[in-house]
Amino acid sequence: MDEGTRYLVGELERLLSLPIGTKQELEAWYEESERVQREFSARFPDLDYPHEVWHFLADADIRARDAGYRERQECIITDYIRRVRNDDVVA
């Protein structure tokens, strides 16, 4: 796994673990998401990743109020993480 993908996957796992149940938690989540996006864009501008990653980084407020949307989005992200990690083991 290349360095950019490793960084992205690690940050996605960390963001998945952060709570978004209160206004303060949601604000903190977005601060972390914005930090990840800034660092990711600066360090790995050419890395290819699924478009759904950007939705995940931008849609925490929707996930906080819509459990079905949260489940679908988290499933997409965890599937991406699993697929990348499995490809790394095989390669």
pLDDT at 1: 82
pLDDT at 87: 83
The rounded distance, in Å, linking the Cα atoms of 68 and 53 is 17
Could you tell me if 44 and 4 are in contact, meaning their C-beta atoms sit under 8 angstroms apart?
A: yes
pLDDT < 70 regions, the chain? 88-91
pLDDT at 89: 63
